[in-house]
């Protein structure tokens, strides 16, 4: 059992790399958790623990997203992850805030059951109503389910590295190529996650993937300059207003 009382929240920003020229397109923000001594706790253990406590999951998700926005590079596109199970009565203000961040894409994890797919469709529709770009994450990952309706709604398709691990499987290869062609025909962005070798990067280029990310580019990972105690969040989210104003000013300056 994980104790959340002694955990600190941080963030890591992993670059998305253009396959055309190897430049940094933007970053994906990922939550990181440590104790007071800096010992790391895997994020999946924290969120698995929180999935049995809906209200607490929502609080942590709100805190994590605000932290990630605050420490991101405002001049570059930012990808963040949102768990559809974490959207509750407190999240409306957070979603309003997300809509103020220029060049933001919210990633929705590919689903493993019908109920998850329904939750994801509702969240995607809500995000799109606020003009927020959406990516479908982990396409092709083991034990995941592909929702055709979500494919049609999202702006970016993020392929799991498992696709490349099945090179030689003709059916899988044809399916991935068909999805990439679908994305191009519909003006959707494509990303390959989990790239670890130069050979995988070259294959992504050959397939026509737009962006890649993974440990091949670990030297370009960025860690947020500080951490904050987990679950320090106002029930009324009053701290959102000044931060939202700051983001709005930034948006007007960039416009």
pLDDT in tens, 62-102: 999 999 999 999 999 999 999 888 888 888 877 888 888 99
Of 156-170, 188-202, 211-225, 229-243, the range with the lowest mean pLDDT is: 229-243
**Bridge partners, 135 (sequence order):** 107, 156
At 159 the pLDDT is 93
DSSP 184: H
Q: Is the model's pLDDT at 254 over the cut of 90?
A: no
- Locate tokens 């927020």: which residue? 132
State how far the Cα of 57 lies from the Cα of 19, in Å rounded to an integer.
36
What percentage of the chain has pLDDT greater than the value 70?
Answer: 87
Query: Where is 81: in which H helix or E strand?
Result: strand 78-81
Predicted confidence band of residue 1 (pLDDT cuts 50, 70, 90): low
* pTM of the complete model: 0.88
At 240 the pLDDT is 43
Q: Per-residue pLDDT tens for 186-211?
A: 999 999 999 999 999 999 999 999 99
Nearest to 163, CA basis, from 153, 150, 149, 178: 178
Q: 61 or 241, which is more confident? A: 61
Nearest to 60, CA basis, from 91, 39, 37: 91
State how far the Cα of 17 lies from the Cα of 246, in Å rounded to an integer.
28
95-109: burial string, b at 16+ Cβ within 10 Å, e else: bebbebbbebbbbbb
Radius of gyration of the chain from its Cα atoms, rounded to whole angstroms: 18
State how far the Cα of 208 lies from the Cα of 101, in Å rounded to an integer.
29
Q: Are 219 and 17 in contact (CB under 8 A)?
A: no
At 232 the pLDDT is 61
Q: Are 78 and 29 in contact (CB under 8 A)?
A: yes
């Amino acid at each position: 059992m994980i104790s959340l009382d002694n955990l600190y929240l941080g963030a890591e920003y992993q670059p998305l790399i253009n396959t055309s020229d190897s430049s940094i397109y933007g970053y994906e923000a990922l939550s990181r958790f440590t104790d007071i001594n800096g010992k790391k706790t895997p994020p999946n253990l924290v969120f698995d623990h929180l999935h049995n406590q809906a209200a607490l999951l929502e609080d942590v998700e709100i805190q994590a997203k605000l932290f990630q926005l605050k420490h991101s590079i405002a001049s570059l596109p930012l990808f963040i992850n949102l768990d559809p199970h974490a959207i509750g009565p407190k999240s409306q203000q957070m979603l309003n805030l997300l809509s103020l961040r220029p060049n933001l894409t919210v990633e929705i994890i590919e689903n493993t059951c019908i109920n998850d797919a329904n939750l994801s469709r509702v969240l995607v529709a809500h995000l799109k109503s606020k003009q927020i770009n959406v990516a479908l994450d982990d396409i092709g990952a083991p034990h995941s389910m592909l929702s055709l309706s979500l494919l049609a709604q999202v702006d970016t398709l993020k392929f799991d590295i498992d696709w490349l691990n099945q090179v030689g499987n003709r059916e899988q290869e044809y399916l991935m190529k068909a999805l990439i062609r679908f994305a191009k025909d519909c003006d959707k962005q494509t990303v390959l996650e989990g790239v670890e070798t130069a050979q995988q990067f070259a294959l992504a280029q050959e397939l026509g993937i737009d962006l890649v990310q993974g440990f091949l580019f670990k030297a370009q990972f960025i860690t947020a300059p500080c951490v904050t105690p987990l679950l320090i969040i106002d029930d009324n989210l009053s701290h959102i207003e000044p931060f939202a104003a700051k983001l709005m000013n930034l948006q007007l300056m960039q416009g």
